[in-house]
Amino acid sequence: MTRGRRGAATTAAASPDDVAAVLQRYEELPKAVVFDADYTIWPLWCECFSPSYTPPLYPDVVTIMDGLRQAGVKLALASRTPTPHVASAFLDKLGLRQRFHSIQLIPAADGLDQHRQVAHRVRCIVVISGDLDRPAVAVHLVTTCICSNPPVPACSAQKDKAHFPAIQRELGIDYQDMLFYDDEHGNIRRVSTLGVCSILVDTSTGVDLAALKQGLEAFTRARQAAT
């Protein structure tokens, strides 16, 4: 899959009718669609911001979530963010919490590793955003990421071992009846071993109408191959 530069797309958002038209093409929909958070529903790493920040969403995310719910599909969130308190705050600010039937914010690393990861990610963000020539911005990012966010409990959760078993227990839905969106190859690879149809997200667009179509096509092919 061609990957775009990390950032939000500028195309117009899909309408509810656009989403409904896509969903109506398929006789069988997944019983659950599971979303990663960072660079899947919002165009950022949430650990690089404080809980007071209100992040943007990718343009099609809310419309797609609402269309899936109206079609009877359950929604779940599976994130390995090292700052679950920030992700949780974002869900409330954006009105997303009530849209999910299961929310699994299980950290990926302990506090020490978190700070190493964040330092690396801050450097990436500064370079990508062109803020190397704006020291105040870089200092703000580093301060927010490394100083403001407290360490998380020691943990190295993988989505196939922690998040998806929890989602399955809560929803009572088999893995082969799920569709999963994530921007990281490792997560896609691990979760796919469970039998979950897993789609790698283009980080320039997040989960958009094209990703919805791609996922439903892949899910349909997988179901046909299993029968």
Given a contact cutoff of 8 angstroms between Cβ atoms, the answer to whether 78 and 36 are in contact is yes
CATH number assigned to the domain comprising residue 74: 3.40.50.1000
Per-residue pLDDT at 141: 52
- 18 sits in the region (left: phi over 0; alpha: psi -120 to 50; else beta) called alpha
Look up tokens 């997303």; give the residue: 96
Which amino acid is present at 56? P
147 lies in some domain: no
Question: Residue 202 pLDDT > 60, yes or no?
Answer: yes
194 within a domain of the structure (yes/no): yes
Categorize the per-residue pLDDT at 157 as very low, low, confident or very high, splitting at 50, 70 and 90: confident
For residues 169-192, give the mean pLDDT.
96
Q: Does residue 168 lie within any of the structural domains?
A: yes
Residue 68 lies in a domain: yes
| Domain, as residue range, for 74 | 16-46+55-109+155-226
For residue 170, being part of any structural domain is answered with: yes
- Indicate whether 11 belongs to any domain: no
Closest Cα partner for 19 from 72, 66, 75?
66
Residue 121: what pLDDT?
56
**pTM metric for this prediction:** 0.80
In the chain, the number of structural domains is: 1
Residue 184 lies in a domain: yes
Mean pLDDT of 80-91: 95
Q: What is the pLDDT of residue 118?
A: 54
